[in-house]
Amino acid sequence: MALRGTFVRLFRKQLSNIFRQQKCAHSVAIIGAPFSKGQKRTGVERGPGVIRDAALIDRLSSMDYPIHDFGDLSFTHLAKDEPFMHVPFPRTVGLANKVLAGAVSSAVGAGHTCITLGGDHSLAIGSVQGHYQHCPDLCLIWVDAHADINTPLTSPSGNLHGQSVSFLLKQLQDKMPAVPGFSWVKPFLSSSDLVYIGLRDVDPGEHYILKNCGIQYFTMRDIDKMGIQRVMEVTFDHLLSRKQKPIHLSFDIDAFDPALAPATGTPVNGGLTYREGIYIAEEIHNTGLLSAMDLVEVNPTLGASREAVEATASLAVDVIATSLGQSREGAHISFDKLPSPNMAYKSENEQKVYL
């Protein structure tokens, strides 16, 4: 069995290498989604701004990607939006996600790798739906302290940022009431195409759903026990061993330990270390299959200091850049681009320099 598992991993790696070689040099689309009505704390709508201010565009541009920054979307907060059951702002959240789905669909359809900057995690309903319109066989990797798979009937808070996955999952169709504002959403995701990493705050209803639907998930205890390398191996074996599929990465900054990412709305102690989070992003990039990504829940109003906000935003940029190929080995250039003694001279007024 161990030999077979090794063979499967090597075969998958070969296929991924072929995929990367055949794939044209891709471009990156950046979409800001300044939205906060999926939960009750204000400030998370400023997340896209502080992530941009942490030199996101400069970092990605230095990686030689064509960058298409489409700016921030404009969302309408409906004045008359009565709660549904105990779910606040259902129509506003539904409309915002419909707008985002259209933007992500356009970006993916144009051949870009699409990066959505949140905003709260309810936005994943729209980003994954928009991605699905062009990649119906996608798989979803959800990196988060929380499962976000409550339904309106199981959610303790009613907040839609804790219910995103339930709108997408086919296995929950008969458990979901008709939430106003979401009639356009089509549940398409199979439980076998979903993996969670980093869970450590799961509600009772969510735990039942995870177990009953047979969803693959890794808690922080699993990461402690198995190690992050093995977690990623099992993740890819689960999602990609039968078929190479486009990957949608939905990354909540609260997956990290609050010591690293303090400026977020629902921090939970005992989260990912920097190295674990970056390793996840590196391994996803190495598949050559990342097609769209969300980076959500950076809330600058919840940082105790400017340094706390900057640390959280900088961490978000690191995750995005690593997912797109930034390496801890340093920047790489082709060997034939190295300077030679005959290439490098300064101006006639400066000392001649040989490299």
| pLDDT computed for residue 9 by the predictor | 58
| pLDDT computed for residue 227 by the predictor | 98
| Whether 146 is catalytic | yes
- 135 lies in some domain: yes
- 157 lies in some domain: yes
| pLDDT computed for residue 18 by the predictor | 45
| pLDDT computed for residue 13 by the predictor | 54
| pLDDT computed for residue 329 by the predictor | 80
| pLDDT computed for residue 102 by the predictor | 98
CATH of the domain at 89: 3.40.800.10
| Whether 254 is catalytic | yes
- Cβ 98 vs Cβ 126: under 8 Å: yes
| Whether 148 is catalytic | yes
Determine the Cα–Cα distance for residues 72 and 31; give it in Å rounded to an integer.
Answer: 6
- 132 lies in some domain: yes
The three-state (H, E, C) secondary structure of the chain, written as one string: CHHHHHHHHHHHHHHHHHHHHHCCCCEEEEEEECCCCCCCCCCHHHHHHHHHHCCHHHHHHCCCCCEEEEEECCCCCCCCCCCECCECCHHHHHHHHHHHHHHHHHHHHCCEEEEEEECCHHHHHHHHHHHHCCCCCCEEEEECCCCCCCCCCCCCCCCHHHCHHHHHEHHHHHHCCCCCCCCCCCCCECHHHEEEEEECCCCHHHHHHHHHCCCEEEEHHHHHHHCHHHHHHHHHHHHHCCCCCCEEEEEEHHHECCCCCCCCCCCCCCCECHHHHHHHHHHHHHCCCEEEEEEECCCHHHCCCHHHHHHHHHHHHHHHHHHCCCCCCCCCCCHHHCCCCCCCCCCCCCCCCCC
- 343 lies in some domain: no
- 352 lies in some domain: no
Kindly tell me the sign of the dihedral angle through the C-alpha atoms of 271, 275, 278, 283. negative
- 80 lies in some domain: yes
| Whether 297 is catalytic | yes
Per annotation, catalytic residue among 112, 121, 131, 285: 121
Per the structure block, which two tokens stand in for 253? 């900054």
Per annotation, catalytic residue among 72, 252, 257, 294: 252
Environment class of 23 (CB within 10 Å of its CB; exposed 0-12, middle 13-18, buried 19+):
exposed
| Whether 26 is catalytic | no
Determine the Cα–Cα distance for residues 280 and 305; give it in Å rounded to an integer.
Answer: 28
Per annotation, catalytic residue among 146, 206, 276, 285: 146
- 351 lies in some domain: no
> Whole domain around residue 107: which residue ranges?
2-337
Per annotation, catalytic residue among 81, 222, 254, 257: 254
Per annotation, catalytic residue among 45, 81, 120, 144: 144
- 294 lies in some domain: yes
Count of CB atoms situated within 10 Å of the CB of 315? 22
Q: What is the pTM of this model?
A: 0.89
| Whether 121 is catalytic | yes
Per annotation, catalytic residue among 161, 203, 206, 248: 161
Q: How many domains does the chain have?
A: 1
- Cβ 258 vs Cβ 149: under 8 Å: no
pLDDT tens sequence for the chain (355 residues): 454 555 455 555 554 444 443 343 489 999 999 999 999 999 999 999 999 999 999 999 998 889 999 999 999 999 999 999 999 999 999 999 999 999 999 999 999 999 999 999 999 999 999 999 999 999 999 999 999 999 999 999 999 999 999 999 999 999 999 999 999 999 999 999 999 999 999 999 999 999 999 999 999 999 999 999 999 999 999 999 999 999 999 999 999 999 999 999 999 999 999 999 999 999 999 999 999 999 999 999 999 999 999 999 999 999 999 999 999 987 555 556 667 676 554 444 454 443 4
